Structure 1
Amino acid sequence: MADINAGLSLAGKVAIVTGAGQGLGRDIALAMARAGAQVAVVDLNPETAQRVAAELGENGKAGIAITCDVSRRDQVRAAVERTVSEWGGIDILVNNAHNLRVVQARFMDTDDEHLLRHLNSGLFGTYYFLQESYEHLKARGGRVVNLGSGAGVSGRQEHFSYAATKEAIRATTRVVAREWGPEGIRVNTICPAAYDTPAMKRFLSNADDEQTAAMTAQIPLARFGGGDEVASVAVFLASDASSYMTGHTLMVDGGATMDAGR
């Protein structure tokens, strides 16, 4: 019988986590480091990137901070080159970065600037990192974890730009999984619903107790998840424990969207 703990180890692996300066990205970076990976903490904000990289160092794990605007291919290429220069290759890519300063807007109130903000940071950021990391992932049989959202799967109202971008990322996962599978690269998506992230906290801060209770009632596990619970699934998808999985969407949302991750 296989040793499941050994299968979940990321010892000796090199990971890039985008948008890792706070929230869910930070949780994923820390979880991967705890599993043994060396982690490139990529973020638009140099201070938050440095802070998370320092956290990794305090726990005896290797981490580097890389400032990067993921909507700029030249900066994405530089981030990939810096990681490879530091550690010799890339085994894991987590595309988490997404500009969430403005998420909610009714469809007819959405303008080009709002839509492009989401597409540039979410879809183009994922696209650039995938292309720029490809040769390095191919050389090591790499693993990619993209971040989707239940907002796209369910068609959440007043979330058009965000939902459309996240569904485009899910489509990207399926296409790239088929194209890169023969080369040993696995590509999967996580759709999380976590409470302890800045975006979710901002959303819930505008909801009253009755609205929050109504949202919780739609979750079979009757609670919002933690960022660490989502991060553990990212570790699973980056590890050998999921070696025969690619092109999948895992709904990490307490059962709120059962059977929807297709």
Structure 2
Amino acid sequence: MRMKNKVVIITGGGKGIGFGVSKAFASEGASLVLTGRTPSTLEQAKEQLESEYHVEVLTVTADGSDEAAVKNVIEKTVERFGHIDVLINNAQTSKSGVLLQDHTKEDFDLAINTGLYATFFYMREAFPYLKESHGAIINFASGAGLSGREGQSSYAAAKEGIRGLSRVAATEWGQYGINVNVVCPLVETPGLAKWKEEYPELYAKTIKGVPLGRFGDAEKDIGRTCVFLASEDASFISGETITLQGGSGLRP
């Protein structure tokens, strides 16, 4: 129960990778705040988490690209729990699979607004409370940006922007005891299954490049790592990018 009495905000926490991360934190006793754009998805996740793990879950419908909506999430969190200990920026939408030359400005804006701007808004609004708790921020980036994967131009641009933002925050906010890290997961999700169906050649190329021969599990592989990064065990780790990609994230 390493996260008992801790309050954790997880964007996109009602499904996919976010829900796997939510389960990992719930299993450690954390109180959760789940955000997303679909109320029914959030409520279903809340019911399952509270039933299985007996933790308190607050759901707040929000689009991270909406500055006012993000402010509301932070306000609702503090109203309910009084403090914030961990912020996890996971949610992101993009036109994955669309080649660079086929991107429109609207396609590019989608990735930047829902990824980079959303992460910025949440970090800025949560900062006063994380400063009080000497908390942790975990931002999600991607191997798409690290290795320049085909069909991922706007997504990679947003994710690399998030990495830059995270490194600056680690520098500026270290004095307040806030550690800021980035994880780059490669995970089996419903979205990935859809991508496999629509772009089978890109999918095959991706899995062929994973030395461990599989995609990660959202709870066991990604969620458990996030729990570690949010725990006292990782209090001296900050400004790092951790690739959780079965060996495909090897870098010099």
TM-score tier after normalising by the smaller chain length: over 0.9
Distance 2:205 2:98 in 1: 21
What are the equivalent positions in structure 2 for 1:13-162 lying under 5 Å apart? 13-59=6-52, 60-100=54-94, 102-162=95-155
Distance 1:120 1:207, change over 3 A: closer
Alpha-carbon shift at residue 218 of structure 1 (Å): 1.4
Alpha-carbon shift at residue 11 of structure 1 (Å): 1.1
Match of 2:225 in 1: 233
Matched, 1:245 2:205: no
Alpha-carbon shift at residue 164 of structure 1 (Å): 0.4
Distance 1:206 1:67 in 2: 29
Distance 1:47 1:250, change over 3 A: same
Question: Equivalent residue of 2:161, what SS?
Answer: helix
Q: How many residues align?
A: 250
Provide structure 1 residue ranges, at least 5 long, that are not aligned to the other structure. 1-5
* Contact persistence 2:163–2:182 (CA under 8 A): yes
Distance 2:222 2:43 in 1: 23
TM-score (norm 1): 0.92
Seq. identity, %: 34
Distance 1:202 1:170 in 2: 26
Alpha-carbon shift at residue 213 of structure 1 (Å): 5.0
Q: Tell me the alpha carbon deviations over residues 141-163 of structure 1, each in whole angstroms, 9 at most, x when there is no partner.
A: 01000000000000112211001
Match of 2:186 in 1: 193
Q: Tell me the alpha carbon deviations over residues 167-210 of structure 1, each in whole angstroms, 9 at most, x when there is no partner.
A: 00011110100000011000000000011x122111112354x7
Distance 1:151 1:213 in 2: 15
TM-score (norm 2): 0.95
Distance 2:199 2:64 in 1: 31
* Contact persistence 2:86–2:136 (CA under 8 A): yes
Distance 1:212 1:33 in 2: 32
Distance 2:136 2:209 in 1: 32
Alpha-carbon shift at residue 216 of structure 1 (Å): 2.7
Distance 2:93 2:208 in 1: 28
Distance 1:227 1:96, change over 3 A: same
Question: Equivalent residue of 2:34, what SS?
Answer: strand
Alpha-carbon shift at residue 212 of structure 1 (Å): 5.0
Provide structure 2 residue ranges, at least 5 long, that are not aligned to the other structure. none
> What RMSD in Å do the two structures reach over aligned CA positions?
1.4
Matched, 1:205 2:179: no
Question: Equivalent residue of 1:15, what SS?
Answer: strand
